[in-house]
């Protein structure tokens, strides 16, 4: 069997290569999404992928199904409009942390409140990569970026806290933990209600190399060493990845 059949099934191969830099983690997430789609046998007709703006925003255009590339920060309300218009569609948002948590943060908060039955996959690379490397909502404290030359004075958004009192799905995973990433995507896609996966993907060109990483492999090894899998947690610690399904009553 062709071990690449999943992405041959779901991607427009003639549009490759992607515009992403060598060593970028987005491709890992994109391929893993295809694996999850394939495993669940998600039909191409009847599925819509929506993106916002940024490196991650270019994901939607590569799917061999109807897709929408909206403006910066607005992928979630576009996806909600699609879902409310036609409940039979599988609607998946693929976008970045700057897009979903920064400029579009308000929409995320309210999509959680509405518990709209869509899946949001967030490539969280800790940086605004496409614009050259500015501080983003997931950049850790003290990290130097183009706009925080003295180090980030703020702390990153704790996305999971938004989900605390809602009957939604939250997961965190990384591009190193491939099986875990696939598991998170599968569970999120199967979840009835709003599901969100914070997928840590590495940006070597506009982030990692400035922090002293020699290549993206070193960033992956950092994920390996730093993150521990904890799929039974009620709350994930900063160095934990795992799945939280809120037990809050809807």
Partner 1 sequence: MPKQLFQGNEAIVMAAEVAGLKFFAGYPITPASEIIHALVNKEHIKALQMEDEIASINAIIGASLAGLKAMTATSGPGFSLMQESIGLAHMMEVPLVIVNVQRVGPSTGMPTLPAQGDVIQCIHGSHGDYFPIVFYPNSVSELYQYTVAAFNAAEESMSPVILLSDGYISHLYETIVPHRDFTIRPRSRPPLGTGNRHFTGLSHEESVPQTSDVDNYRRLITRFREKQLMAARRHNYYEYRECGKETDTLLISYGALSRVAYYFKNDFALYRPIRMFPVVDEIKSIAPRYKRLLMMEMNMGQYAHEIERILHRDIEFIPILGGRIDLKEIKQKIYGQE
Residues binding partner 1 (CB under 8 A):
12, 15, 44-48, 50, 58, 60-61, 63-71, 74, 77-86, 88-89, 106-107, 109-110
Quick one: DSSP state of residue 227? -
Comparison of 44 and 214: residue with beta carbon closer to partner 1:
44
Comparison of 83 and 177: residue with beta carbon closer to partner 1:
83
**54 conformational bin, left if phi > 0, alpha if psi -120 to 50, beta if neither:** left
Give the nearest distance from C-beta 59 to partner 1 in angstroms: 11
What's the Cα-to-Cα distance from 137 to each of 127, 173, 241, rounded to whole Å?
8, 17, 18
Q: Are 244 and 163 in contact (CB under 8 A)?
A: yes
Q: Rounded to an integer, what distance in angstroms lies between the CA atom of residue 246 and that of residue 126?
A: 25
Comparison of 80 and 126: residue with beta carbon closer to partner 1:
80
Comparison of 44 and 228: residue with beta carbon closer to partner 1:
44
Give the nearest distance from C-beta 149 to partner 1 in angstroms: 30
Give the nearest distance from C-beta 105 to partner 1 in angstroms: 11
Q: Where do we find the tokens 């009835």?
A: 192
Q: Parallel, antiparallel, or unpaired: how do β-strands 195-200 and 169-174 relate?
A: parallel
Comparison of 106 and 239: residue with beta carbon closer to partner 1:
106
Q: Rounded to an integer, what distance in angstroms lies between the CA atom of residue 171 and that of residue 241?
A: 7
- Angle CA(37)–CA(39)–CA(45) in degrees, nearest 5? 40
């Amino acid at each position: 069997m062709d071990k690449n059949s999943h992405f041959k099934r779901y991607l427009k191969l003639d549009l490759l290569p992607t515009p992403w830099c060598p060593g970028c983690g987005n491709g890992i997430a994109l391929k893993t999404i295809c694996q999850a789609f394939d495993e669940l046998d998600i039909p191409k007709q009847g599925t819509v992928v929506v993106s916002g703006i940024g490196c991650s925003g270019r994901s939607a255009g590569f799917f061999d199904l109807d897709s929408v590339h909206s403006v910066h920060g607005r992928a979630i309300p576009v996806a909600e409009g699609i879902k409310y218009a036609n409940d039979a569609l599988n609607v998946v948002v693929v976008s970045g942390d700057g897009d979903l948590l920064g400029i579009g943060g308000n929409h995320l908060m309210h999509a959680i409140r509405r518990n709209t039955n869509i899946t949001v996959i967030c490539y969280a690379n800790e940086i605004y990569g496409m614009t050259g490397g500015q501080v983003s909502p997931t950049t850790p404290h003290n990290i130097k970026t183009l706009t925080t030359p003295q180090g980030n004075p703020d702390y990153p958004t704790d996305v999971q806290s938004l989900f605390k009192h809602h009957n939604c799905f939250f997961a965190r995973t990384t591009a190193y933990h491939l099986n875990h990433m696939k598991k998170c995507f599968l569970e999120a896609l199967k979840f009835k209600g709003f599901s969100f996966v914070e997928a840590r993907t590495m940006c070597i060109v506009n982030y990692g190399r400035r922090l002293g990483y020699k290549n993206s492999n070193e960033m992956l090894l950092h994920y390996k060493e730093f993150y521990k899998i904890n799929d039974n947690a009620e709350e994930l610690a900063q160095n934990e990845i795992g799945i939280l399904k809120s037990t809050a009553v809807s």
